[in-house]
Chains A and B, each alone.
Chain A
Amino acid sequence: MKARTFAAFVAPSVVLMLIFIALPLISVFVQSFYSTQQVFQQISVESCTPGFTTQTCTTELRSRQVMDAAGKPMTTTSFVGLESYRQLLKPEEVSKAFAAGGGGLSALMTIDFYKALRFTLSFTLITLPLVVGLGLLIALAVNNLTKSIRGPLIFISLLPFIVTPVIGALSIRWLFIGDGILTAALRWMTGSSIAMFAQGWTIEVLMMVYRVWHVAPFAFVVFYAGLQTVDQDTLESAIVDGASRMERLRHVIIPHLMPLIVFISLIHLMDSYRVFEEVIGFSSEAHRISLQWLTFSYLMPDETGNRSISRASASSMLTMVGIVLLLIPLLMRTWRDNRVSR
């Protein structure tokens, strides 16, 4: 294909990605070094608040925003260097935590960023093998069933995957919160008075269970598709050679599915690293927060209508560095594969 034709084909897509992915990325990067503040002045204000029968009026010294000619609040933007990163990472508190008598890790876990990082990483790394394993198991099992019931089973299996993540998380929550039906069942079975939303670890387990439930079907359907293309001749000659079921699985099927396992791992790492919906769905803010939720919370305006854009930008950048580091081994593999195939 000629370079010009190639350019014409990819141009719309590349332009979109440049404007809506690369550009925001750069702007976020730049914003993380700046801080925009409103200008306040001290003035004396008479303000009145309603009461039952009379009004209470007070005159007091108050900080009020300075408005510009157009009636908008004045702002100043200044370069703050790594200040926003410092506020996130809190290096002095970290060194204090690890100094003698600082409390070490548990003190570290009271700093939002590390709390979020810890949760995000363990969430990602624990669910990964579970998703791949469960997906593979279901695919192998369904593949061994008679054709007529495979269709309905695939349909049922796909349900957890297609359901809107927030809603999936909510429906699990409805089953467990308070005296929810499954919590009641658990209490009845164990004879204890469990409350699933009372402590951090149970919420964390629920979040992981939900994620595996939600993503394993995708892994399943991809692996199942892959199983349909296993070379029958190789399988049969393996049988002739007297290979047992396990040996066939290890030496024929798994190697055949390897590219798919890499593919699923790649997608799952990317998706579970940005865990967010679970935090909303399970309202786990008090116990567990994720990196993406942290950025989201900085972006939401607080009681004064102020968004912490600089800190949000800094946490976005750190989140991004994290995912790139996580992906490097898999990216290297994809890179090699593509080099070879070309």
Chain B
Amino acid sequence: MIKKTIAGITLSLMMSVSAHAACSFQNTVPVKSLTAAFEAWKAVTSAMGECGNVQAELDQTFRTKQPAAFAANPSLYHLGGVANGTLVPLLNAGSIRPLDDLVAKYGKHLTPNQFIKVDGKIMAVAMMVNAQHFMFREDALKDAGIAPPKTWDEVLAAAEKLKASGKFQYPLGATMKAGFDIGQDFINMFFGYGGTFVKADSTPSVNSEAGVKTLTMMKRLTAYMDPEYLVSDSTFVQKQFQQGKIAMANLWASRAGALDDPKESQFVGKIAMAAAPLAMAGGKPATTLWWDGLVVAKNIPDAEADAAFRVAMEGIDEEMVKANNAAAVWLVKGYVPNRLAGGAIASADGGAPNYPSTTQMGIMSAAIGERVADFMTGKTTAEQTLAAIESTYTTKAKEAGLIK
């Protein structure tokens, strides 16, 4: 055992020495980054680390930390990993800088569809897209003689059959942990039923027919889930798939890679990817499209921003994508879409909407995440829940100053 420890230490030392080899320059300015913690970010930050002097922090709770950390002067981090939703607080606080000149200097290899522009200025550079889409155990469905479901009603029917077959006690999985996850599930379904969340004057309009349908469908689905679904996040569902406990779920595209990882999963190659199911006939896939990308803090010296952006570009270069092709649906040159990307692409082709990066949507998502759990535990009816979401939204929007 001691030999292994020593070998481990030497190995890690050697890695940090040889690390610089893969980076085109030697970074001397200390750069700190704060990002989410899924596989794609692990790949990007470790590619950034090859340049030296990079301290990467990967944390799934980054969304609560980022706003305050970037608003500090000097900012506590140079680089931030953001997505549609998490960009908003940084934009609102004015704590990230426009990247046009940096892109001109170091970003020659970027393609135009990677830029997030606000008011004509590039505020973030995207590296990948993400979406919750349908994944299912191809073998199990075939055995039970079920055609891959295309709508949520078909999913229910398939779940019923699988449960009856006795092979799966709980055939369905879902990211329904109270808070962000369940809010996201609601938003996907609600868009699938063609609903609109807020009116033009920022007042809520979630208490509608689409809202009731959404809640009803979510409740019906839970009948086929592990009863602990209110603590079930993406990782929980991923494990359920890997251990063969569930046969179907709407899960993030960024988790697909882990399902094909032989070290973790017992069902490599058996889990198929498809577009998110339709909520209603003739509708669009019930999901939202997300991007993930990098921003640079405003409250740091220009020289540090320069170095940080340069490092970031090394993190999302062709070399990294080639080494981690399966980790995500990359937007970076050199990406070869594989089987695992099929679900996200099919969802986009089906016309699934982009997740709106607006302040209103941020507040709405938080309000939904807070209130839907009460419906699931049977404390409130659908109408009461929707009314409670609206009143929570209104309170928060008033606090934020959006509504007078």
Touch between chains A and B, by CB atoms below 8 Å: yes
Partner of A301, one of B89, B227, B379, B401: B89
Interface membership of A35, Cβ < 8 A: yes
Cβ contact within 8 Å between A305 and B116: no
Given A56-B354, A195-B228, do A46 and B117 touch, yes or no (CB 8 Å)? yes
Whole-angstrom distance between the alpha carbons of A53 and B66 in the complex?
30
Given A302-B366, A302-B396, do A197 and B231 touch, yes or no (CB 8 Å)? yes
A-chain residues with CB within 8 Å of residue B231 when the two chains form the complex: 177, 197, 283, 286
- Of the candidate stretches A20-28, A68-76, A129-137, the one touching chain B is A68-76
Cβ contact within 8 Å between B67 and A301: yes
Whole-angstrom distance between the alpha carbons of A50 and B67 in the complex?
23
Whole-angstrom distance between the alpha carbons of A182 and B326 in the complex?
38
Q: Which residues of chain A from 35 to 66 have a CB within 8 Å of any chain B CB?
A: 35, 37-40, 45-57, 61-63, 65
Interface membership of B7, Cβ < 8 A: no
Best-buried of A302, A303, A308 by chain B (most CB within 10 Å) = A303
Residue of B nearest to A183 (CB): B228
Whole-angstrom distance between the alpha carbons of A89 and B93 in the complex?
31
Cβ contact within 8 Å between B117 and A38: no
B-chain residues with CB within 8 Å of residue A308 when the two chains form the complex: 396, 399
A-chain residues with CB within 8 Å of residue B85 when the two chains form the complex: 303
Best-buried of A35, A48, A54, A311 by chain B (most CB within 10 Å) = A48
Q: Which residues of chain A from 102 to 128 have a CB within 8 Å of any chain B CB?
A: 106, 109-110
Interface membership of B374, Cβ < 8 A: yes
Interface membership of A178, Cβ < 8 A: yes
> Binary interface profile of B, 168-192, with partner A (CB < 8 Å = 1, else 0)?
0000000001110000000000000
Partner of A35, one of B116, B126, B399: B399
Partner of B200, one of A61, A283, A287, A305: A61
B-chain residues with CB within 8 Å of residue A303 when the two chains form the complex: 63, 85-86, 88-89, 361-363, 365-366
Given A286-B376, A302-B363, do A52 and B129 touch, yes or no (CB 8 Å)? yes
A-chain residues with CB within 8 Å of residue B177 when the two chains form the complex: 283, 286
> Binary interface profile of A, 186-200, with partner B (CB < 8 Å = 1, else 0)?
000000000101111
Partner of A285, one of B64, B84, B115, B179: B179
Cβ contact within 8 Å between A49 and B84: yes
> Binary interface profile of A, 1-39, with partner B (CB < 8 Å = 1, else 0)?
000000000000000000000000000000000010111
Whole-angstrom distance between the alpha carbons of A54 and B354 in the complex?
13
Interface membership of B331, Cβ < 8 A: yes
Whole-angstrom distance between the alpha carbons of A305 and B62 in the complex?
12
CB distance from B375 to the nearest CB of A (A): 10
Cβ contact within 8 Å between B358 and A62: yes
Whole-angstrom distance between the alpha carbons of A137 and B226 in the complex?
40
Whole-angstrom distance between the alpha carbons of A67 and B298 in the complex?
14
Q: Which residues of chain B from 70 to 103 have a CB within 8 Å of any chain A CB?
A: 84-86, 88-90, 92-94
Q: Which residues of chain B from 367 to 389 have a CB within 8 Å of any chain A CB?
A: 373-374, 376-377, 379-380, 384, 388
Whole-angstrom distance between the alpha carbons of A230 and B130 in the complex?
69
Cβ contact within 8 Å between A47 and B117: yes
> Binary interface profile of B, 3-30, with partner A (CB < 8 Å = 1, else 0)?
0000000000000000000000000000
Cβ contact within 8 Å between A49 and B374: no
Given A35-B399, A49-B354, do A300 and B64 touch, yes or no (CB 8 Å)? yes
Best-buried of A56, A109, A301, A306 by chain B (most CB within 10 Å) = A306
Partner of A47, one of B118, B376, B377, B379: B118
Whole-angstrom distance between the alpha carbons of A220 and B4 in the complex?
44
Interface membership of A295, Cβ < 8 A: no
CB distance from B316 to the nearest CB of A (A): 12
A-chain residues with CB within 8 Å of residue B358 when the two chains form the complex: 62-63
Whole-angstrom distance between the alpha carbons of A324 and B75 in the complex?
40
Best-buried of A49, A51, A55, A305 by chain B (most CB within 10 Å) = A305
Whole-angstrom distance between the alpha carbons of A177 and B113 in the complex?
43
Residue of A nearest to B65 (CB): A301
Interface membership of A95, Cβ < 8 A: no
Interface membership of A313, Cβ < 8 A: no
Partner of B120, one of A46, A76, A285: A46
Partner of A305, one of B67, B114, B379: B67
Interface membership of B143, Cβ < 8 A: no
Cβ contact within 8 Å between B113 and A55: yes
Whole-angstrom distance between the alpha carbons of A54 and B119 in the complex?
18
Given A37-B400, A304-B362, do A50 and B113 touch, yes or no (CB 8 Å)? yes
B-chain residues with CB within 8 Å of residue A37 when the two chains form the complex: 398-401
Cβ contact within 8 Å between A52 and B226: no
Interface membership of B273, Cβ < 8 A: no
Whole-angstrom distance between the alpha carbons of A52 and B335 in the complex?
11
A-chain residues with CB within 8 Å of residue B86 when the two chains form the complex: 303
Partner of A71, one of B66, B298, B360: B298
Cβ contact within 8 Å between B113 and A110: no
Q: Which residues of B contact A (CB under 8 A)?
A: 63-64, 66-68, 84-86, 88-90, 92-94, 112-120, 126, 129, 177-179, 200, 202, 226-228, 230-231, 291, 293, 298, 331, 345, 348, 354, 357-363, 365-366, 373-374, 376-377, 379-380, 384, 388, 395-396, 398-402
The 3 closest A-B pairs by CB, nearest first: A305-B89, A303-B362, A37-B401
Known: A38-B401, A198-B228, A302-B396. 7 other contacts (CB 8 A): A37-B400, A46-B119, A50-B113, A50-B115, A177-B228, A301-B67, A304-B363
Q: Which residues of A contact B (CB under 8 A)?
A: 35, 37-40, 45-57, 61-63, 65, 67, 71-73, 75-76, 87, 106, 109-110, 177-178, 195, 197-200, 283, 285-287, 300-306, 308, 310-311
- Offer 14 A-B interface pairs, CB within 8 angstroms, sorted by A: A38-B92, A39-B401, A45-B118, A51-B129, A76-B401, A110-B384, A177-B231, A195-B226, A287-B373, A301-B68, A304-B363, A304-B400, A305-B93, A306-B400
